[in-house]
Amino acid sequence: MAVVSAHLATTAVVRWSRDQAVRTPPHPCCVGPEPHPVAWSRVVPLASWLQHRGRCPTCAATIPRTLLAVEVASIGVLVAGVAVHPGLQLLLVLPVLWSAVVATPIDLAHRIIPNRLTHPLALWSLAVVTVLAATSGQWSQWRLAMVAGFGLAGGLLAVSLVYELLRGQPGIGMGDIKWGLPIGITVGWLGIGSVLVWLYATVAVSLVVMVGLVVTGRARIASRVPYGPYLAFGVVVGILFAQPVLDLLYG
């Protein structure tokens, strides 16, 4: 499962950036014009990268270190998710954690979060959270998940529209807005604590990064920057570290 997760992640980063479909076996030829699958024997995370000295075993192209980081991160969030959230809610949590690993490098490089990611994830999250509520009777949590999901997506849309009125261009991309729905649904299902920690983490990291960019002259206060990485950081913290953060803040 960890191997599949890692190589689906790297394949998605490469192919979705080019608006191409993910095919199996899930390992891309990293820089060729038409990525193609390779043998399963060559797709052991990290080990195959070291074995082939950072080059694609099919075409000898250099594999970007970003993809190695994606492999390692996808395995890390998978293991952490299983450890923190045992049970059926893993069906809700793991896809969103995986999406955070995949969306971050795509958004940083291309300033998009692909529909190939956001649309299926939104439908999946809506379906899974409804099944979880029906099987557990936790309809109050379902309502919180719906409020958080649609509230987050609507809030991001409102911010984008206000920015567009003031600056003449959207402030937040539609990919971020669509991605906000499954993120909100997931942290909402986990409880108000996870929602608050997600919010704290997202706002805090965005402020720290923006202040750093402005101080170093790499951006202005009104500059548009990819917002997906901030959402990704917040969702990882909100899903995996909500209780420790709440204990730290409130004792």
SS3 206: helix
User: Which residues on adjacent β-strands are paired with residue 55?
Assistant: 62
User: Are both 29 and 104 inside the same structural domain?
Assistant: no
Q: Of 68, 84, 100, which closes a domain?
A: 84
Instruction: Tell me if residue 11 falls in helix, strand or coil.
Output: helix
Check residue 108 and give its pLDDT. Answer: 86
Q: How many domains does the chain have?
A: 2
Residues 11 and 99 in one domain: no
Question: Facing residues of 62 across strands?
Answer: 55
What is the pLDDT at residue 138?
95
Note down the domain range covering 152. 88-251
Q: What is the pLDDT of residues 212-230, one digit of tens each?
A: 877 777 666 545 567 889 9
pLDDT score at 169: 78
Looking up tokens 């990268």, which residue turns up?
49
Positions in the chain short of pLDDT 70: 1-9, 11-12, 15-63, 218-225, 251
* Pair 15, 113 in one domain: no
Q: 3-state class of 226 per DSSP?
A: coil
Q: What pLDDT shows up at residue 59?
A: 63
- Residue 54's identity, in one-letter code, is G
Same domain, 55 and 112: no
- Indicate if 63 and 98 belong to the same structural domain: no
Per-residue pLDDT at 57: 63
Let me know: does 198 contact 96? Beta carbons within 8 Å.
no
Q: Are residues 50 and 94 in the same domain?
A: no
Instruction: Choose the final residue of a domain: 84, 112, 141.
Output: 84
pLDDT per residue over 58-77, tens digit each?
666 666 777 778 888 888 89
165 and 74 in a common domain: no
What single string gives the DSSP state of each residue in 18-47? Answer: TT----SS----SSSSS-----GGG--TTH
Residue among 128, 6, 8, 11 at smallest CA distance from 78 = 6
- Give me the pLDDT at residue 36, please: 47
**34-63 pLDDT tens trace:** 444 445 445 555 666 666 666 666 666 666
Residue type, 196: L
Residues 132 and 246 in one domain: yes
CB 55 within 8 A of CB 19: no
Q: Which of 84, 104, 134 is the last residue of a domain?
A: 84
- Can you give the pLDDT at residue 109? 84
Do 222 and 99 share a structural domain?
Answer: yes
Task: Return the pLDDT at 186.
Answer: 97
Do 197 and 240 have their domain in common? yes
One-letter amino acid of 233: F
116 sits in which H/E element = helix 115-136
Whether 176 and 67 map to the same domain: the answer is: no
Residues 237 and 120 in one domain: yes
Nearest 5°: the CA angle 197, 198, 199 is: 90
- With contact defined as beta carbons under 8 Å apart, do 144 and 150 qualify? no
